Amino acid sequence: MFSFKAFIFGCISVIVIGLTLQLGYVLLATFISNYDSGDGFFTTYQTELWFIAAMLVYSLTMFFGGILTSLVSGQNNSVTPVLVGLSTSLLSLLTSSSSGDITWGSAVMIFGSVIFCVLGSRLVIKRRQRSATNFI
């Protein structure tokens, strides 16, 4: 079932983790921009590298958010982590979009955030189930 306490905690943890990892992403992107000022690898593939790094940060944020949400909920289902992933990705999309248009990339981002929250949640659930069978 749904746990409101875990939902609030999960949303706050996703926001805090996301902002912390975004700080690291910005510092890394600044280093890449300043490090390679010529015609090197980073200059050629700068946009692609920034996109890959941004998706990695976003995936890790949702994964850890799913783990923390599942730890707080104490339940063996993924309803609350799914709602955390969905709501935080929609909130992120609505606050960052100036025109309000939802593109294919936005839909992939929303779907991916739900998937990574569920993956984090399933990791905790499998760990709980494994420890419950070891005690018996």
Let me know if residue 136 belongs to a domain. no
- pLDDT digits (tens), the chain, 136 positions: 788 999 999 999 999 999 999 898 888 778 777 776 666 777 777 778 888 888 888 899 999 999 999 999 888 888 899 999 999 988 888 887 666 677 787 888 889 999 999 999 999 989 888 887 876 5
Within-domain flag for 100 = yes
With respect to residue 62, please indicate whether it lies within any of the assigned structural domains. yes
What is the tally of structural domains in the chain? 1
- Which pTM does this prediction carry? 0.84
Is 84 contained in some domain? yes
Domain around 30: 4-129
CA distance 82 to 99: 26
Q: What is the DSSP letter of 76?
A: S
* Rounded CA Rg of the chain: 18
